[in-house]
Amino acid sequence: MLLSDQQRQDIEQLRGDGQQTRRATVAALEEMLYEPLPVLDHGFIRVVDYMGDDAAVVQAARVSYGRGTRRISEDRGLLRYLMRHRHTTPFEMCEIKYHVKLPVFVARQWIRHRTANVNEYSARYSILDREFYIPEPAQLAAQSRSNRQGRGDVLEGEEAVRVLDILREDAARNYADYQEMLNEDDEGNVIDPGRAGLARELARMNLPLNIYTQWYWKTDLHNLMHFLSLRADAHAQYEIRVYAEAMMDTVRAWVPLTAEAFEDYRLGGCQLSRAALDVVKRLLAGEEVAVESSDLSPREWRELMALLGR
């Protein structure tokens, strides 16, 4: 269940209400406004509000009164210049607010990005839904032997089946115990009238990290791009990366010229250290360069060679 019946009714009402405004709006993002974009098995992101557009970034950079009469090509060139030279403050003029439904363990990774305003669903006041993230078999992987934060080979056969069984059984048992401690069933009815039940703020503590939570997350465009540069990266954990990729779709709709520059210079580009740049210059000059003469660590050397496709 992506959305509750009440949330669906609220969305239908919001999308049905037209608003007149003198503020800048973006037609492509208006089409996405309030609609949930599914992520993982029960999660979603949806844009609930935004401020500004590509022109707002340009306006801030030029400190002009309005949109002006410059051509789109000039605006694109300026946006690419700002992105290329990391002039970040003009991008802070745009803001966006998301409603996100995500597993708790993903939320704990996400919250490390401290440059946003966050308000999370409170299990002190409300009862959490019986919804748990269960990975697809393709995402069940062993611990990587070379990367302490990464995954290795995908589990197969009986081992994969057993892991999925454990996840499902633990989730079902823990939620049943949660209800037992609350003394409430799925409909909110009292199970045993003869006892009071444990306070919600205490009963929640046995729930596993794969249960879903929800929050509103508001940030500016500069800090959103910083989040995406880390979490939409191929090395990011899959479960948070798919949220970042869905958010990237909203950024392309919202600020297409900025998104293009961001993908070219940040997501698709790289930054080299002084020693790495020196190696590139020596290679271009036709010199044979080895790790021993590069002033790079073995890991830095491997990363550079991977970037250069060597």
* Residues belonging to the active site: 231
- Hey, which residues does 154 pair with through a beta bridge? 141
Residues 221/229, Cβ–Cβ less than 8 Å: no
Look-up of token digits 């996405």: 32
Q: How many Å is the Cα radius of gyration of the chain? A: 24
**What SS3 state is found at 150?**
coil
Q: Which residue from 254, 259, 262 is spatially nearest to 24, judged by alpha carbons?
A: 254
Q: Which residue from 85, 111, 100 is spatially nearest to 227, judged by alpha carbons?
A: 111
Integer angstrom CA distances of residue 112 from 105, 106, 136, 289: 12, 10, 26, 39
Q: Which helix (H) or strand (E) holds 120?
A: strand 117-120
Distance CA 295, CA 279 (A): 9
Distance CA 107, CA 92 (A): 24
Integer angstrom CA distances of residue 106 from 95, 114, 237: 23, 15, 9
**What SS3 state is found at 135?**
coil
Q: Which helix (H) or strand (E) holds 160?
A: helix 157-182
211: DSSP letter: B
Residues 80/264, Cβ–Cβ less than 8 Å: yes
Q: Which amino acid, one-letter code, is at 112?
A: R
